[in-house]
Amino acid sequence: MPTIHSSAVVETDSLGEGVAIGEFSVVRPGAVLGDRVTIHPHVVIDAGVEIGADTEVLPGSYIGRRPRAVGAVARQPSFREELRIGAGCAIGANAVIYYGAELGADCLIGDAASIREAVRIGERCVIGRSVALDREVEIGDGTVIMFACSIVSKSTVGKGVFIAQGVLTTNDNALGADGWVEERIAGATIEDEARIGANVTFLPGVTVGRGAVVGAGSVVTRDVEAATTVVGNPARPLRRT
């Protein structure tokens, strides 16, 4: 039987066994919470959100945010009012996950992470504190993205990738001068088992091959071949003596 605090607003009947909902949380109509889901205080779970069994959502998180464009934004967002979070996940405090995202099972989402619409995250991933995943980003199974990274729209990160803290990707060589031109936007592609050091910057459209290593502080201006180590600004293959 669910345990619901008297101050919570719960407008759905789709609650599994052992669900716990804390003070001042809101669960909208049509949301589905699996068995033993724990919702801490001051969480919003919007309509159409599905959360798998044994997942925990920490205080202040907003699950199912609608993207919004105002006059300052050239691109009008498109999204589906649905969101799926797999079983066994942990969602940190003050995280924001937008409609249209999908998270696999056993993922850890850090405090204050932002996950935009049309993001796909595989199973057993770690998305660290204050990481921003922009629209249409794909993350493969078993990937770790550490604190304060920014993965821009149209980027793809493979399976088993490790990305250290402070990594930045870019996707627009015009630096926004032409507004949002869909066919010119090109994020990074980081293939399976690549390892990216702290504070690396990727220019638009670059590919890092499978098993490659990018040293800390590098600026990646061109593609990196598989199983190659690059360092520097601009990043170049490491010479061994």
- Is pLDDT of 180 > 90? no
- Is pLDDT of 185 > 70? yes
- State the pLDDT at residue 241: 41
Kindly report which listed range (25-39, 144-158, 167-181, 225-239) carries the lowest average pLDDT score. Answer: 167-181
Compare 184 and 37 and report the one with higher pLDDT: 37
In which domain, by residue range, is 203 found? 143-241
- The pLDDT tens digits of the residues spanning 6-53 come to 999 999 999 999 999 999 999 999 999 999 999 999 999 999 999 999
- Is pLDDT of 5 > 90? yes
The confidence band for 66, taking pLDDT boundaries of 50, 70 and 90, is very high
The confidence band for 76, taking pLDDT boundaries of 50, 70 and 90, is low
CATH of the domain at 95: 2.160.10.10
**Summary mean pLDDT of the chain:** 93
The answer to whether residue 220 is domain-embedded is: yes
- The pLDDT tens digits of the residues spanning 205-223 come to 999 999 999 999 999 999 9
123 and 151 fall within a common domain: no
32 and 98 fall within a common domain: yes
- State the pLDDT at residue 205: 95
108 and 147 fall within a common domain: no
Q: How many domains does the chain have?
A: 2
- State the pLDDT at residue 231: 97
User: Could you tell me the pTM of the whole model?
Assistant: 0.93
- Is pLDDT of 138 > 50? yes
Say how far apart CA 232 and CA 160 lie, in whole Å.
Answer: 24
